[in-house]
Amino acid sequence: MSDERLLRSERVDSVAVLTLANPARRNALSRELLNELRDRLREIAADRGIKCVVLRAEGPAFSSGHDLREIVDAPEPVLVSLFAQCTDVMEAIRLLPQPVIAAVQGIATAAGCQLAATCDLVVAAADATFATPGVRIGLFCSTPAVALARAVRPKHAMEMLLTGTPISAAEAERIGLVNRVVPRDKLDEETMSLARQVADTSGAIVALGKRTFYEQLPLDRPAAYEVAGRAMVENAALADAKQGISAFLEKRPPKWSS
């Protein structure tokens, strides 16, 4: 990595842990940090030994979103490039074969809220908060809205977008933005426990399942069943499916190939 201050990476068994490590700048998604995330996600995607990813952060903020110093007075080509770069990172998370779990310990705002919403699962500390406050500074959170509106119902998303008012972790859980709310001192423990549950399954099967889930999600019901049906056929033909079913029938633990 080019700058260890911005992103740290470690591996715990088959779980990759990525830590946003620039608390002085509230873990802003600067160009440099976005580059680091993109590059590390590419490496993880190619590593079959990694079966789950935890995305966490240091300091009081999970992420404050874009570094506004990179936006103010920037010419249009720079802005086009910056927002496309952020979209590329969000899509890299969605397309990553491995599930990504966000561990949100503090405030997640604007593109920082987008980052959390983009992850497959979110565990939040009880005192964490979420907000899309761009409207209050004249920059509506349109790209964060893409992830937010796919995580919660449209009217909940619009209230967050139109008011910019932060919501609590408990409220985020109620509307579907967060999976679990835990005491802050248990956040890492609970997140790793969830990651290990995911990592205890077949990487190949989970990768297929994740891909299919997001592929069918925007489709109408008949088209979604068509996609899912093809995936079930593909899944059933995999060696790990045969292994898992045989293990179940034989009442023994499965031995996954990945």
Q: pLDDT per residue over 75-101, tens digit each?
A: 999 999 999 999 999 999 999 999 999
Answer positive or negative: Cα dihedral of 190, 195, 201, 205.
Answer: positive
What pLDDT score does 5 carry? Answer: 75
Residue 166 in tokens = 């932060």
CATH of the domain at 169: 3.90.226.10
How far is Cα 112 from Cα 217, in angstroms, rounded to an integer? Answer: 23
How far is Cα 19 from Cα 46, in angstroms, rounded to an integer? Answer: 20
What pLDDT score does 1 carry? Answer: 37
Strands 100-104 and 121-125: parallel
Are 35 and 67 within 8 A, CB to CB? no
Q: What is the identity of the amino acid at 12? A: V
Number of domains in the chain: 2
Are 59 and 25 within 8 A, CB to CB? no
The verdict on 181 and 223 lying in the same domain is no
The verdict on 131 and 229 lying in the same domain is no
What domain range is 172 assigned to?
A: 7-199
The rounded mean pLDDT for the chain is 96
Tell me: the pLDDT tens digits for 161-220?
Answer: 999 999 999 999 999 999 999 999 999 999 999 999 999 999 999 999 999 999 999 999
The verdict on 215 and 191 lying in the same domain is no
Tell me: the pLDDT tens digits for 106-121?
Answer: 999 999 999 999 999 9
Residue 186 in tokens = 């248990």
- For residue 257, being part of any structural domain is answered with no
